[in-house]
Amino acid sequence: MGVFKEIVTGAASLVAGMGVTIRRIYRPVVTVQYPRQRLTMSAAYRGHIEFNIPSKYSPPGCVACGICMRLCPTGVIKVQGEKDHSHEPKRVSLYFIDFTHCSLCGLCVANCPVEALKFSNEYEMAYECRWGGVVDLIKRWEDTR
Ligand code: SF4
Ligand code: SF4
């Protein structure tokens, strides 16, 4: 009697398990076959900051005022600028961010007086060394031109 009960219980368990499997087979696939498939990130996604460039050939609008650098609560922004003539505004000549310590608070983006920053859609941020998370925003801009 004990063996018969075990067979019935095992069969019922098998049917229940197969039922779950069969129901899953007909549901839409949500797994992304990365890296052959890439996700389109939502507008609300926050990757590291980057220059907010209105068109492909525009230069960064950053005037190197340093507000973002002074506001950043974790001090991960380094920005410098230069000017060709005394009557011209400064142009950014160096802009680094150490994304490994960025809290994505958004203070830099929200307080830039010329709206020169935005959050990127970047999500491929695996590093091979501790400095891999340091992003050169000027180089990134130049690479996308
Ligand atoms: S990104 Fe904006 S806030 Fe930061 S230095 Fe440039 S102009 Fe100033
Ligand atoms: S999002 Fe916040 S923590 Fe990150 S760089 Fe900007 S001000 Fe700094």
Would strands 49-51 and 77-82 be described as parallel, antiparallel, or unpaired?
unpaired
Ligand nearest to the CA of 60: 1
Eight-state DSSP code of residue 28: P
Query: Which pTM value belongs to this model?
Result: 0.80
The CATH topology of domain 49-143 is: Alpha-Beta Plaits (3.30.70)
Residue 45 CA to residue 77 CA, distance in Å, equals: 20
What is the Å distance from ligand 2's center to 34 Cα? 28
CB of residue 49 inside a 6 A radius of ligand 1: no
Question: pLDDT above 70 covers what percent of the chain?
Answer: 99
Rounded-to-5 percentages of helix, strand, coil across the chain: 30, 15, 55
Residue 95 CA to residue 135 CA, distance in Å, equals: 8
Backbone angles phi, psi at 82, to 5 degrees: -150, 160
Q: Which strands form 77-82's sheet, in the order they lie side by side?
A: 77-82, 91-98, 134-136
Mutation test residue for ligand 1: of 52, 65, 102, the one with most atoms within 8 Å of CB: 65
CB of residue 107 inside a 6 A radius of ligand 1: no
CB of residue 65 inside a 6 A radius of ligand 1: yes
Question: How confident is the model over 11-39, as pLDDT tens digits?
Answer: 999 999 999 999 999 999 888 999 999 88
Task: Break the chain into its structural domains and give their ranges.
Answer: 1-30, 49-143
Question: How confident is the model over 109-127, as pLDDT tens digits?
Answer: 999 999 999 999 999 888 8
